Amino acid sequence: MKARYLSVLICLILFTSCSQNPVSEFDRLGLEEITIDELQQGFQSGSYTITEVTEAYLERIEAIDNNGPALNSILELNPDAVSIAQQLDQELKEGITRGPMHGVPVILKDNIDTHDKMSTTAGAIALKGSKPLQDSYIVTKLRESGAVILGKANLSEWANFHSSFSSSGWSGMGGQTRNPYDITRNPCGSSAGSGVAVSANLTILAIGTETNGSIVCPSNNNGIVGIKPTVGLLSRSGIIPISFTQDTPGPMTRTVKDAAISLGAMVGVDDSDSKTQASVGHSYTDYTQFLDPDALSGKRIGVYKAPLGGMWRVDTLFNQTVRFLKDNGVTIIELDEISEESPGSASFNVLLYEFKDGLNKYFESLGPDSPVKDLDDLIAQTLADSVEMKYFDHDLLISANKKGDLNSQEYKDALEKLLRITRDEGIDKVMDEHQLDAIIAPTGGPAWKTDLTNGDNFGIGSSSPSARAGYPNITVPMGNIDGLPVGISFFGRAWSEPVLISIAYAFEQKTKARIVPQFKTQIH
């Protein structure tokens, strides 16, 4: 904590320069890169209150997200954030603490329902002003844990399942989110605003969602930690869906420990999400018990080689990391492939069917005042909107609407093939054959230039094996290329969050590869 105050002390001594550049409340409180543990220490010591911290983050969002570099990561602020903070301060005065999340600022991706004064839109103009009838399950859990919800994050519209091509981080509601390392570059998505907000120190924690890459890719591009849990560990009820089979929310933070703390706060069996029934006996309310700085020693880890070869500088960084792991006691097994047969077409078919089914059910859940009746209505509204149609075609909405219901044989066949190839004949098979604790791959490459004309240029990625199987994946900063962060992914079999967290934490503690963004306009 002391290091954070150094610049403030110098500024106070050199008061003439301070008068020209007054210290913000955020800087005065020393909140940059602060962890949940450090925040709680400050609350307990009386260094600051929850209200002061909440107000400081809100001021920073106004200064940096709306003005300054104009990152455009936040769609809406919670008008009740300060009053919630005041209530939580009162609880502390009375000797009541709800646990490690008490008073922790949180940003939610704007496809996660809140029953308050904020809307939930998935970035779509058609849902502007939409008010869900209740909190999503994970928001209920966050509120119970004492978290302060600061606002809603911008995202790739409809979690990036809407057009034949798109620019990650763009939505009709919010426009284009910008990368804090170089604002001309892309933050990736679909949890773009969540990743940017955490990296730029606009919050301690954000909640993203992933169907395939939407947590790990923005975590990669924004130099943070992201956990994509096993599908069913966290409830999806009250989250605007793409896929019942692949969707999951997950925490996005600057450290593995903060991600572990927040993951434990959201677990639970939800009667409204049948997938969560499978988490019984596999979930923990405290994942910090698995944080072991020596967890690398003795581990057997597979190297998923398919993403390699796309960019030599990423390959070089990753190969250096593999040597580092070997030097720290890891046995490395190279994997040319995980599944012999490609599950891509089966996964895409499943997504189309489940997107139609899930969206229609979600619109119905909004009640008689829903601004969208069904997918037919959404398509009509979208195609008639000049903002929505300025850059992208929204063809995936139309393709999904052409599908039948979930009793269709085509859907059943695709789902069976998807799960068989990715699980029994995929991750489970190779991990059993080689007795692996985890599999690693580069999460992605450095952020590409944002291009609203041609769309995204992902380059490389490794999210598909775990995403399509519904299995967990954790990405951690691995290093940087020309000041742009690059992450490493640790993934494995279902419910292996404890071992993945331990490995990711040990790697993080030994490498400390996270770099703080400087909001440049050009790096190269």
CATH number at residue 482: 3.90.1300.10
pLDDT of residue 8: 38
Give the residue-averaged pLDDT of 420-439.
Answer: 98
Contact 190, 124 (CB under 8 A): no
Q: Are residues 135 and 228 in the same domain?
A: yes
Q: Are residues 24 and 92 in the same domain?
A: no
How far is residue 472's CA from residue 492's CA, in Å, rounded to a whole number? 6
Q: What total of structural domains would you count in the chain?
A: 2
pLDDT of residue 522: 78
Give the residue-averaged pLDDT of 370-399.
Answer: 98
The answer to the question of residue 521 being in a domain is: no
Joined tokens for residue 186: 């892309």
Q: Are residues 158 and 10 in the same domain?
A: no
The answer to the question of residue 369 being in a domain is: yes
Residue whose pair of structure tokens reads 């040990």 in the numeric block: 506
Q: Are residues 14 and 122 in the same domain?
A: no
Domain that holds residue 315: 31-511
Burial category of 6 from C-beta neighbours within 10 Å (exposed 0-12, middle 13-18, buried 19 and up): exposed
Distances (CA, A) of 371 to 121, 335, 352: 10, 49, 22
How far is residue 18's CA from residue 367's CA, in Å, rounded to a whole number? 54
Active site residue 214: yes
Q: Strands, E, within 144-279: which ranges?
A: 148-153, 170-171, 175-176, 205-210, 225-228, 248-253
Paired with 210 in beta bridges are: 248
Helices 497-511 and 312-327: crossing angle, nearest 10°? Answer: 100
Active site residue 190: yes
Q: Are residues 8 and 121 in the same domain?
A: no
Joined tokens for residue 461: 């990625």
pLDDT in tens, 181-239: 999 999 999 999 999 999 999 999 999 999 999 999 999 999 999 999 999 999 999 99
Joined tokens for residue 281: 């006996």
Contact 329, 298 (CB under 8 A): yes
The answer to the question of residue 518 being in a domain is: no
Give the pLDDT band (50/70/90) at residue 18. very low
Sign of the Cα torsion 230, 160, 185, 73 reads: negative
Q: Are residues 71 and 1 in the same domain?
A: no
Active site residue 19: no
- How many helices and strands (H and E) does the chain possess? 18, 13
Annotated catalytic residue, options 73, 109, 171, 199: 109
Annotated catalytic residue, options 190, 194, 235, 243: 190
pTM for the whole thing? Answer: 0.95
Q: Are residues 213 and 230 in the same domain?
A: yes
Q: Are residues 7 and 107 in the same domain?
A: no
Give the pLDDT band (50/70/90) at residue 524. low
Annotated catalytic residue, options 191, 199, 214, 466: 214
Q: What is the 3-state secondary structure (H, E, C) of 353-404?
A: HHHHHHHHHHHHHCCCCCCCCCHHHHHHHHHCCCCCCCCCCCHHHHHHHCCC
Q: Are residues 316 and 175 in the same domain?
A: yes
Which amino acid is it at 109? K
pLDDT of residue 23: 87
The answer to the question of residue 346 being in a domain is: yes
Q: Are residues 5 and 130 in the same domain?
A: no
Output b/e per residue, 89-114; b: 16+ Cβ within 10 A: beebeeeebbebbbbbbbbbbbbbbb
How far is residue 122's CA from residue 127's CA, in Å, rounded to a whole number? 8
